[in-house]
Amino acid sequence: MHRFLALSAIALTVALAGCATTKQPEPDKTIKTSSVIAPEGKKLTAKDEEDADVSRYEGWHHLAGRTLEVASLADLKLHDKEVVLSFDDGPIPGRTDKVLAILDKFGVKGAFMMVGQMAELHPELARKVAEDGNAIGSHTYRHADLAALGFDAAMKEVAKGQLAVTKATGEDVNFFRFPYLADNHKLRAAIATRDMVVMDVDIDSKDYFNTTPVAVTQRTMNLLRKRGRGIILMHDIHKRTATMLPTLLSKLEAEGYKVVTLKFRKSSAPVEMAAL
Ligand SMILES: [Zn+2]
């Protein structure tokens, strides 16, 4: 296969994969179905494009909250009206950089769960995400469904992904999110021993659905109002995510929410292995 085709195939596979609370079929098997290809096919309106114009949001913002140091998932406790903005599946040029620009305008940081393969393909962008002060996480090397693999194969994927993102960003990778949120207790415990905090999801924006940016914003805000706080799942590989982000952040600010910045703190206590 030509290099261009190979890269396109990788990008397409990852773009189609997304991350859902419910398990999705293997990306390779879904490429032929129009319902899966559709998400990127929705045309953005002129109003959507206008909303995404970052320059409109210059100025003083009050959205930045505290920096929360976490050594384990148990430390990741949010107060009422606090959110974490997490972005999976990138980095990808033309999209991740837009997300970074919007976060910068609002003075907030996110947590980027990178696919190792994507970080390898776009190391400058991966490094920029880290240099901007965002929390860096891994999302396996090839967006594998770890629950469907044997334990050893799954941990190989985890290690390869962590190494690839570390190399690309030039930083330690201290957060992790399961593709398709497909986890199990043994894998979660083993990942914790690799100095990575497993990031769960409280609010799924479903930005990978074939829907408008307005619908994504409304769904996310409705879920958040019910819950009061939480880790929001988004994907920096989709055009609609950068398009809806300024509106989402404006709404969060208007309703008094704060965006928490995550930092990893290495635990001095040995990781409890008894639960394995
Ligand atoms: Zn994902």
Separation of 20 CA from ligand 1 center, angstroms?
8
Separation of 19 CA from ligand 1 center, angstroms?
4
Could you tell me the maximum CA-CA distance found in the chain, to the nearest angstrom? 56
Q: Which of 139, 129, 134, 194 is nearest to 168 (CA)?
A: 129
Separation of 262 CA from ligand 1 center, angstroms?
20
User: What are the residue ranges spanned by the domains of the chain?
Assistant: 81-266
Please give the pLDDT value at position 21: 31
Please give the pLDDT value at position 101: 96
Please give the pLDDT value at position 267: 76
Separation of 246 CA from ligand 1 center, angstroms?
22
Separation of 138 CA from ligand 1 center, angstroms?
10
Other CB atoms within 10 A of residue 171 CB: 17
Separation of 238 CA from ligand 1 center, angstroms?
12
| CA–CA gap between residue 84 and residue 76 (Å, rounded) | 10
CATH superfamily of 81-266: Glycoside hydrolase/deacetylase (3.20.20.370)
The residue count for the chain: 276
Tokens of 232: 């929001």
Q: What is the DSSP string of the chain?
A: --HHHHHHHHHHHHHHH---SS----HHHHTT-HHHHGGGGSPPPHHHHHHT-GGGG-S----EEEEEEESSGGG--PPTTEEEEEEES---TTTHHHHHHHHHHHT---EEEE-HHHHHH-HHHHHHHHHTT-EEEE--SS---GGGS-HHHHHHHHHHHHHHHHHHHTS---EE--GGG---HHHHHHHHTTT-EEP--SEE--TTSSS-HHHHHHHHHHHHHHHSSEEEEEETTSHHHHHHHHHHHHHHHHTT-EEEEEEE---SSPP--TT-
For the chain, 276 residues long, the average pLDDT of each consecutive 10-residue run is 46 48 35 32 59 63 94 94 98 97 96 98 98 98 96 98 98 97 96 95 92 91 97 95 94 96 82 47
Using the CB atoms, write b or e for 54-70: b if 16+ within 10 Å.
Answer: beebeeeeebebeebeb
Please give the pLDDT value at position 28: 34
Separation of 60 CA from ligand 1 center, angstroms?
33
